[in-house]
Structure 1
Amino acid sequence: MKKALPILCLLLLFMACKQEKDCSYIKDYYQTIYLAEEAYFLGDFQRVYDLISEVESHCALLNQRGPYEMLKYAEAAARIGKDEKALQLVRDLIFEGYEIDQLAQKDAFVQLAAGPEWKAIALEYDTLRRQYLHTIDLDLRKQVVEMKDADQYYRSMLRKPGINRDSIYKIIGRVDSINDRKLKNTLDRYGYPGERVIGGYNIDDQQVDAGILLFHVDDYDYYTTTLKRLIEQGKAPPESLGNFVDSYQRRVKDQKKFIYGIYDNVGEEQIIDYENLDERRVSIGLPPRSLKSRVDSLRRAYYGI
């Protein structure tokens, strides 16, 4: 029996590694999550639960800004009576940066929050929160904020009347070059600096997203290759690549055609090979345009915006 235990441990480790290795987020994850988000806004919580459960069987869950699939999964579990799963996900969400009081205010968790299991989690919350804070890089968060501020500050100066635009454009060029080097270093060392790397809104009451920097960098080969690899691994949001490529296309002289159709106000005539647009979008983890439109509409109606 003693000899069997190490073998069993090795087998479990191998299976865990194989599961992670076999997960292609582009192929196995994103599209199902978009369907689950649609089901959530339609109130079909059983479908939300079933879809994300299937994804979870072969991919580690993300909690992307926008879909926030782990939160929706937890809410769906609570609403269909899967209390044990919901409570497990609540603990997981604390390690995603959620505060226990924030979660307790969700309608889906009202009954759970009154129970002993939730109260046990609440007693652990301070310890769990400290553990979470040790997993994020606050120095990198500060750097991303500084990069964004510099990116926007000089561009905002272009709107001032009488400004010497040529001199401002030179400064913008230098800032973009510095940000480009810093962003590449960040992507190479940490992956995309999303909420799992630098924390979310409740760290300092501000949304910190490096995505805007991708609109102002030009190394096409590096960013397309690096972002595609990170998206495949679940370490960068699919829109990061779409935003970079289409904003790059927009800046190319005499080239106003887009590849991934990230701009909602762009018509078919401005998109290269429009008939195959959805195929290209899906190939980098973006939803088909029609599905995106449906989910966006449902989200606006749900939140009253």
Structure 2
Amino acid sequence: MRKLIPILLILVIITSSCQPSKKEKQIEKTRFNYVDYNTLIYQAERFILDSNYTSALDKYNEAFSIVDKPLAKHCFTAIQVSAKVDDEEAFKRFSIKGFERGLLIKYYKQDTVISRYSREKKLNTTIEQSFEEANKLYNASINKFLADTLIALQDWDQKWKKYYVDSLSRVDIENSKFYHQKYDSIVGTIVEDYLIPVIKEYGYPGERLVGAEAVGYGENDSYRRSYVNNSAKIILLHYYADPRTCVYNELFLSEVKKGNLLPEHYASIIDFQAKYGNGEHCKVDYYNEWFYDPDTTNINQINNKRMEIGLSPFQDRIEKMKRGQDKCKSIRRGDYNFVKLFEWCG
């Protein structure tokens, strides 16, 4: 059970001499390029949109060859694609990589594409035997100190957001502005005095450093569930829902290039700045990831910005969303035989 760590204890944790003496830096080999990795993943997803699974598999192979830590959801999709093209070796290889990145056997058993292929090819025993060792590697890759600190910050943020914004401001509408200001001050302290120092010291606490989580519509609803870590992103979106400066943007962009901050999360943070920055405090351009630029003539400029951090063109994002909505209808009809791109149901 997650427990709230007292605020003073967070400060002690961050500054204590018992903590690791140096930032735990990701060991970057010259072949590592996370922007290239992201680009290859979105190229693979473009092929999936076209039902070209053979080419998609080639892109996943290429992407996974240039990083040590592919993302859990990408591993999951790559496993499904390998099943679609009947590549047993790729299926086993991606399954092990998925376990190393936090996926559990129960996630495999809950998916129609994966479980059916594994059963038909009699791979269940082989896959299950590989889990324990791979899962040990995953647990060893997690910065426990950083993960615990992130949980504490998230609990702190959620506690006061629920108290001031989700409760009091809706009951006492006359004083709603006051309650929003109270919460805004608290989330400002969380980000500026705690989260940003953590990022500077250890790196952005995203999936590659603190592990993936199964998030979505419940433990058993595997077709609406994703594998990611949204905790730090959510805190930052709360922070940028009010006008702020852009002072941390270079830090965020550097973490994208290191592979710690997902490009879609970075783009969402910048979109919040574009929408709520009012121009005075922070003037940035949209990425069209969370909010969309009202000036639709800027689409070419937006696509160039997206490609610079490894995001797909905006048109592909819209197509993924429409596909996901269509898969929601498929689920209601009892059709679960599809490859997940983790956009809506699909």
Q: Scaled by the length of structure 2, what TM-score is found?
A: 0.69
Q: Is the 8 A contact 2:267 2:290 kept in 1?
A: no
| Aligned counterparts of 1:162 and 1:303: Cα–Cα separation in 2 | 36
1:220 and 2:246 matched:
yes
Deviation at 1:34, TM superposition (A): 1.5
What's the secondary structure of 2:171's corresponding residue?
A: coil
Match of 2:94 among 71, 89, 95: 89
Match of 1:132 among 122, 133, 138: 138
| Aligned counterparts of 2:262 and 2:197: Cα–Cα separation in 1 | 18
Q: CA 1:144 to 1:199, structure 2 compared with 1: closer, same or farther past 3 Å?
A: farther
Question: Where do 1:69-148 residues align within 5 Å?
Answer: 69-109=74-114, 110-113=116-119, 118-123=124-129, 125-126=131-132, 128-136=134-142, 137=144, 138-148=147-157
Count, aligned residues: 281
Residue number in structure 2 paired with 1:14 = none
Residue number in structure 2 paired with 1:37 = 45
Deviation at 1:146, TM superposition (A): 1.0
| Aligned counterparts of 2:253 and 2:83: Cα–Cα separation in 1 | 35
Q: CA 1:258 to 1:103, structure 2 compared with 1: closer, same or farther past 3 Å?
A: same
Deviation at 1:195, TM superposition (A): 2.9
| Aligned counterparts of 2:103 and 2:53: Cα–Cα separation in 1 | 21
1:172 and 2:195 matched:
no
1:250 and 2:275 matched:
yes
Q: CA 1:52 to 1:162, structure 2 compared with 1: closer, same or farther past 3 Å?
A: closer
| Aligned counterparts of 2:278 and 2:106: Cα–Cα separation in 1 | 51
| Aligned counterparts of 2:314 and 2:88: Cα–Cα separation in 1 | 35
Q: Is the 8 A contact 1:144 1:208 kept in 2?
A: no
Letter in 2 for 1:296: M
CA RMSD across the alignment: 3.2
| Aligned counterparts of 1:86 and 1:301: Cα–Cα separation in 2 | 26
Residue number in structure 1 paired with 2:213 = 201
CA shift digits 1:177-235 (9 cap, x unpaired):
2211222133223323223333333499697532122231535132x111211111222
Q: CA 1:128 to 1:73, structure 2 compared with 1: closer, same or farther past 3 Å?
A: closer
Q: CA 1:258 to 1:198, structure 2 compared with 1: closer, same or farther past 3 Å?
A: same
Q: Is the 8 A contact 2:101 2:138 kept in 1?
A: yes
Letter in 2 for 1:214: L
Residue number in structure 2 paired with 1:8 = none
Unaligned segments of structure 2, at least 5 residues: 1-26, 220-224, 330-344
| Aligned counterparts of 1:188 and 1:254: Cα–Cα separation in 2 | 26
Residue number in structure 2 paired with 1:161 = 172
- Work out which of the two has the higher radius of gyration on C-alpha atoms and give 1 or 2: 1
Unaligned segments of structure 1, at least 5 residues: 1-16
1:149 and 2:161 matched:
no
Q: Scaled by the length of structure 1, what TM-score is found?
A: 0.77
| Aligned counterparts of 2:290 and 2:233: Cα–Cα separation in 1 | 15
Deviation at 1:264, TM superposition (A): 5.0
User: What percent of counterpart residues are identical?
Assistant: 16
Deviation at 1:72, TM superposition (A): 1.6
> Relative to total residues, which structure has the larger helix share, 1 or 2?
1
Q: CA 1:47 to 1:302, structure 2 compared with 1: closer, same or farther past 3 Å?
A: farther
